[in-house]
Structure 1
Amino acid sequence: MHDPRIDVAETVYRFAYGIDQRDWAGYRSIFVEPPTTIDFDYSSYHGRPAAAMDVDAWVGAVTPLFSGLDATQHTMSNPVVEIDGAVARCRVYMQAAHFLWADDLVERTGDAVPEFTIGGFYDDRLVRCADDRWRIDAVRLTVWWRRGNERIMELARTRDRP
């Protein structure tokens, strides 16, 4: 018998895979379809309150940031999945490493370190859709720790790429 918790965890893992591979169509496919908005809560990362956003606007907002970085590796582990009918909740530990190599890092960020990494966990809510796939409709990141040169993130967002 197939365990649906595996499908839920795989959907959450595809969140990391889509970003790291810059597979924006694949990344988009893990979220619910419009017109539904998604609740994104990254307040523990940046201090701004949680917000409901159109998923296409979300993908459009994160694409320049991650495309401006030279490499990322989002690692997710230890999934705890609870399913209640057509709604699932999944918590995973995470570490997200971001890299930007540039000759002028010191001048532009005040630091020569080309890495910024955060650790913590994601709490995601997923719904089973008409196509029987689990899709994310709420994301909450809780950051426990940070290390490295956080200023590379803003530099990446505004970086001109060839």
Structure 2
Amino acid sequence: MTPDSATITKIIDVSNRYAAGIDRRDWAMYGECFTDPCEFDFSSFSGRPASSLSREAWVENVKKTNGSFDATQHQMSNQMITMLDDHRATCITELRAQHWFAPDTMARLGHADSVNFCELGGHYTNDLVLDAGTWRIAVCRLTVRWQTGSMAIFDLARAIGAGTLSKD
């Protein structure tokens, strides 16, 4: 089944709102991208198995980690959409995700000489459903193909998000 141009635009918009929601710290926008609950498989990044979470719980997890960086930039491109039926689609989206702490933040965290960024490349394979006229991600799978910088900055971001470390 070939999607029409309006459907393609709406599904690509989900990818754009996903990225913009994280990078602009607009957690309501980000949350609206998902069904409730939603399945998440980030095992290629985290090593943890896939799990189903409420929309609220997922957004809070992402907010605590990604929201703790001084800046992030998620670039989504090359969306390939396969329609399963009128209400279900799969979208594979290429990803380049940058996570960054300012040098002065790293110094305040006691890591002045550490690498202050991590960049990931890969793709999302998202299963979407048409939910009350809005396309939403029901299953979100991340496949990381490459990484540069330091994965250790995610530990710092998680500690900041958990309140066990302060950027001040």
Q: Same fold (TM over 0.5)?
A: yes
One-letter amino acid of the counterpart of residue 114, structure 1:
N
Whether the 8 Å CA contact 2:106–2:116 is kept in 1: the answer is no
For the 8 Å contact 1:11–1:30, the answer to whether it is kept is yes
- 2:12 corresponds to: 9
Which residue pairs with 2:163 in the alignment?
none
- The Cα of 1:105 is off from its aligned counterpart by 7.6
Is the CA contact 1:100–1:156 (under 8 Å) kept in the aligned structure 2?
Answer: no
CA apart distance, 1:104: 2.8
CA distance in structure 2 between the aligned counterparts of 1:150 and 1:72, rounded to whole angstroms: 14
Q: Percent identity?
A: 36
Specify the code of the residue in structure 2 equivalent to 1:89.
T
Q: Partner residue of 2:40?
A: 40
- Map 1:72-91 onto structure 2 (within 5 A): 72-83=72-83, 84-91=85-92
User: Is the contact between residue 18 and residue 24 of structure 1 (CA under 8 Å) also seen in structure 2?
Assistant: yes
Moved more, 74-83 or 149-158: 149-158
In the alignment, the residues of structure 2 paired with residue 69 and residue 137 of structure 1 have an alpha-carbon distance, to the nearest angstrom, of 27
Match of 2:115 among 113, 116, 123: 113
1:22 aligns to 2:18 (yes or no): no
Deviations 1:42-70 (A, max 9, x none): 00001111111111111111111122100
Deviations 1:8-35 (A, max 9, x none): 1111221111000000011111112x4x
Distance 1:81 1:135 in 2: 14
Q: Which runs of 5+ in 2 are unaligned?
A: 161-165
Give the TM-score, by structure 1 length. Answer: 0.89
Within 2, Cα distance between the matches of 1:105 and 1:141?
32
Aligned length: 157
